[in-house]
Amino acid sequence: MVKLLGASVLVLGSGLAGVSVGGNYTRRPRELKSLQTALKLLATEISYALSPLPEAMANVAARSPAEAASLFRVAGAELAANTGGGAAQAWQKATARFGLNTSLTGNDLALVNQLGQALGISDRDDQMSHLELVLHQIDLQIDEAQAAAAKNARLWNYLGFLGGLALALILY
């Protein structure tokens, strides 16, 4: 009886671990798409509304999908607090905090982070070209993430349960 209980805990545990890893793969394209939408909103704020950056960030946070909103909310608050580091530092802090709670990879985050070096320090056309470059790179990341999700999400879901089952059988 105890053995059976132990085996089912093992199967359930490793199954859930597999689902969690697989979930990361399916969440990443979704988060990248949200980020892309939010950055497009930022581009609109900059090119058409010409809103100052703190205001632009707050507006984007209010209108963008939930997954990306926190990044812009934090960046906007940092900028409004004007701690002296400028847009680059505010953006870096915001991406660091955003990265703690996301399925994005280090590469994705580095892409977002690098945008901070250019934010707010040049004219509209230059800002647009930087944003367009990042949006294009995110496009590529989305393709890659979708391929990885198709390949790995189901694999990890099965692998978790089957691996747990195999281990349980060996130990039984």
Partner 1 sequence: MNGSVLIEPPVPCTDPWPRLWPFLPERVACLLKGWPRSLLGAVEEIRLRAGRPLTLTVGGQAVPAGPGGPAGDPAAVLQLDGSDLQACVELISGSSLYALEEELKRGFLTLPGGHRVGLTGQAVLNDGRVRSLKHLAGLNIRVAREARGAARPVVPHLYDREADRIRHTILVSPPGGGKTTVLRDLVRLISSGVPSLHLAGRAVGLADERSEVAGCYRGQPRLDVGPNTDVLDNCPKAEGLMMLLRSMGPRVLATDEIGQGSDVDALLEAQNAGVSLLATAHAGSVGELFRRPGLQRLLAAGAVERVVVLGRSPTPGTLVEVRGGWHLEPLEVKSRGQTPGGVGPGSG
Token pair of 66 as six digits:
């939930």
Token pair of 37 as six digits:
């939408």
Spacing of C-alpha 71 from chain mean position? 9
Among 11, 35, 60, 90, binds partner 1 (CB under 8 A): 90
Binding mask 50-89 for partner 1 (x = CB under 8 A): xxxxxxx-x-----------------x--xx-x-x-xx--
Residue closer to partner 1 by CB (options 87, 134) is 87
Token pair of 169 as six digits:
């059988």
Residue closer to partner 1 by CB (options 16, 121) is 121
Segment 126 to 145, residues that bind partner 1, using CB under 8 A: 126-127
Residue closer to partner 1 by CB (options 30, 40) is 40
Query: Which residues lie closer than 8 Å to 10 by C-beta, 6 or more apart?
Result: 164, 167, 168, 171
Using only C-alpha atoms, the chain has a radius of gyration, in whole angstroms, of 21
Measure the CA–CA gap between 10 and 71, rounded to whole angstroms.
Answer: 37
Residues contributing to the site for partner 1 (CB under 8 A): 46, 50-56, 58, 76, 79-80, 82, 84, 86-87, 90, 119-124, 126-127
